[in-house]
Amino acid sequence: MELEDGVVYQEEPGGSGAVMSERVSGLAGSIYREFERLIGRYDEEVVKELMPLVVAVLENLDSVFAQDQEHQVELELLRDDNEQLITQYEREKALRKHAEEKFIEFEDSQEQEKKDLQTRVESLESQTRQLELKAKNYADQISRLEEREAELKKEYNALHQRHTEMIHNYMEHLERTKLHQLSGSEQLESAVHSRIRSSSSLVLRWGERGDVIASELLQDGVESCC
């Protein structure tokens, strides 16, 4: 076993040695100087049994310091990972919040669009009912007009048939008249003279009656003037 300033070595059967950390080496140097002071004052036997224990303690302390440094490195790595996770969490949280806001806006938009469509459907249904009512009214009017047209056609056919019959009767009458004129012209002349004489007597009687009425009206007018 050998102690030097700043470094502590432990001799092992395999002859291998390990360099202690700077902090532990400083502590070992202080202990070594204290041992030298004790050896100088008393004897080497004073620290002979104590030396291996101190070296073992220093080696264990160095191992603890090494583990502590490893733990510090791991802690820094964990802190970095934690910061990255926090950053990622915050980013995902912001993205989720943004997505929720977008979803709420989409739901509101869908709800408003649904209301607009419902209003439009109701309006179209109302217009459809009105058009159906108008169509029914038009159908009734068309039916009545068709019935009226049928009646007018019947009346027209009846009038046409009557007119045809009248023309036919008139033509027959003309034919009979012509026949009568050809067969009985003498009888017709005597009948005409008889009718002329009766008409002349009627005109004479009406003329006398007209003079009487005129004289009565003239007398009434004179009395009114007086």
Read off φ and ψ for residue 9, nearest 5 degrees: -115, 150
For 23-39, how does the pLDDT look when each residue is reduced to its tens digit (9 = 90+)?
A: 778 888 888 888 888 88
**178: number of Cβ within 10 Å:** 10
H-only helix segments in the chain: 22-41, 45-48, 50-183, 185-225
pLDDT given for residue 90 in this prediction: 93
206 part of a folded domain: no
38 part of a folded domain: yes
Return the ∠ at Cα 86 (arms to 81 and 89), rounded to 5°: 120
46 part of a folded domain: yes
Q: How many domains does the chain have?
A: 1
62 part of a folded domain: yes
Distance (Å, rounded) from C-alpha 91 to C-alpha 161?
A: 100
69 part of a folded domain: yes
14 part of a folded domain: yes
Structural domain span for residue 7: 2-76
- Percent of the chain scoring above 90 in pLDDT: 26
Which is higher by pLDDT, 56 or 21?
56
For 104-153, how does the pLDDT look when each residue is reduced to its tens digit (9 = 90+)?
A: 999 988 889 988 999 999 999 999 999 999 998 999 999 999 998 999 98
10 part of a folded domain: yes
25 part of a folded domain: yes
